[in-house]
């Protein structure tokens, strides 16, 4: 499976900074999932439980109080005011 570089950052530092297959969370227009090769965009994220699928098949979940998700061709960055994993 194709992967992308995922960074989840909070005011306390990086919560996650590694390769991922998929991240699923709740944007202002509903649930969304981002995988490698996704069209670039920026959106506001609502408080939710997010899920990260790792290259080895493991899944990590965390809680977030909301933030901004930026998707580029090779990187996904989630800037969160409050999050855990």
Mean pLDDT, residues 3-32 taken together: 95
Q: Is 83 helix (H, G, I), strand (E, B) or coil?
A: strand
Helix (H) or strand (E) holding 80: strand 75-80
Q: Output the pLDDT for position 84.
A: 67
The string of DSSP letters for 3-68 reads -EEEEEEETTEEEEEEEESEEEEEETTEEEEEETTPPPEEEEE-SEEEEEE-TTS-EEEEEE--EE
Mean pLDDT, residues 5-28 taken together: 95
Please state which CATH number belongs to domain 4-80. 2.60.15.10
First to last CA, the chain: 23
Q: Output the pLDDT for position 42.
A: 97
Please write the tens of the pLDDT for every residue from 32-77: 999 999 999 999 999 999 999 999 999 999 999 999 999 998 899 9
> Comparing C-alpha atoms, which of 37, 34, 32, 40 is closest to residue 2?
37
pTM: predicted TM-score of the whole model, two decimal places: 0.91
Query: Whole-angstrom Cα distance, residue 43 to residue 76?
Result: 12
């Amino acid at each position: 499976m194709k992967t992308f570089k995922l960074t989840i950052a909070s005011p306390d530092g990086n919560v996650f900074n590694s390769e991922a297959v998929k991240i699923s969370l709740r944007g202002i227009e509903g649930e969304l999932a981002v995988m490698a090769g996704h069209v670039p965009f920026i959106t506001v994220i609502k408080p939710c439980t997010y899920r990260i699928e790792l290259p080895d098949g493991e899944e990590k979940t965390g809680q977030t109080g909301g933030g901004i998700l930026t998707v580029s061709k090779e990187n996904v960055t989630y800037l969160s005011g409050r999050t855990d994993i």
